[in-house]
Structure 1
Amino acid sequence: MEQKSTGKFLFNVNILIEEVNNGRALEKLLSVLNTTEFEDYQIKDGIQLGKSIEIAMRETMNTRKLSLQQRDTAEAGKPQSTSPASSVAKEAVQEDPHSLIWEQFQKYKEDNTLIRLSAIKGKGVKLSVPCRILNVDPASGNVSVYHVDEKQVYLFNIHEIDDYVIHS
């Protein structure tokens, strides 16, 4: 008998899932993908997790900007006694201290890189999660990842993440 060799084939597919919300549809999709014989897959688009948080964060930022503008307008009549160094310090505080991490996570997401995330959840529970990044949301400070062993989606806040290493 002659044995035929198999090859690997890659397809780009759009899948429409009818469900009550995006999270349930994502859950159903992951369930189907994990119960079949797919060697690997990458979800490139369609994840809409954290949108409510993102909207709330934007509204909070807009409110803060408005109150700062009103305060600045009120202080415009007063003599200026602040030094340029203090304004530079204020700008540094407003800049996101995690911007480099967000950029790296976005690159890992785009490249579908397997990483090991070490996180400390509530009550000091330490997790070591081999995962792929699904969504990065700097506005809310959240990262959603797919645990490759447990085949589940986890949501971490940036402050819960202790360390991460690229899996090779």
Structure 2
Amino acid sequence: MKKTSATDQEELGYLFNVEILVKEQTNAKALQKLLQLLNSSDDIIDYRINSGIELGAIISSMLASKKQSLINKSYKRINEGASNPAPSETKDTKTPHAPKEQPESPQQNSFVSMAKSQYFENWVQKYIANNSLVRLLVNRNGKRISIPCRILNFLADTYTMTVYHVDEKQVYSFHLSEIIDLNE
């Protein structure tokens, strides 16, 4: 019978799943101490830290508070618009002598005329604030396109709506005269 010596045996690695509590003043210092311990041993081949790292918490909290601030501002604008209804149009704006900001065309739809009201702007701002998914039916260059998107911005002065196409992951800008329909 042949005896096997210790040099003939293969070295094997074993995987352990452990939780280690490190005493230190901060999470970053505790992580540093743990990494030094793990890296100082030649017997530890590899390791993975799955949890416990709390680095970047300040950045995360600042981003969250900034996002919440933007949402609160949007809700405030929406609520102010709802409590203060827009004044009705005067006779001067309905006269044929009033300058038109955009020439009338057969493709012109109700969105442009509706956009002149505060109600429409408040309605669009609700979609923006809620980050709602909507479907736009757009007539661009004679082609009708249905776009699942989120409204990013609406400029009432230029009648321009900026949207994020959720399938293509791209941003598009449309003039309201190009938009045929908007559905939730």
Which interval holds the TM-score relative to the shorter structure? 0.3 to 0.5
Structure number with greater Rg is 2
The TM-score normalised by the length of structure 1 is: 0.48
The TM-score normalised by the length of structure 2 is: 0.44
Greater percentage in helix: 1
Q: Kindly indicate whether structure 1 or structure 2 has the higher relative contact order, using CA contacts under 8 Å at least 6 residues apart.
A: 1
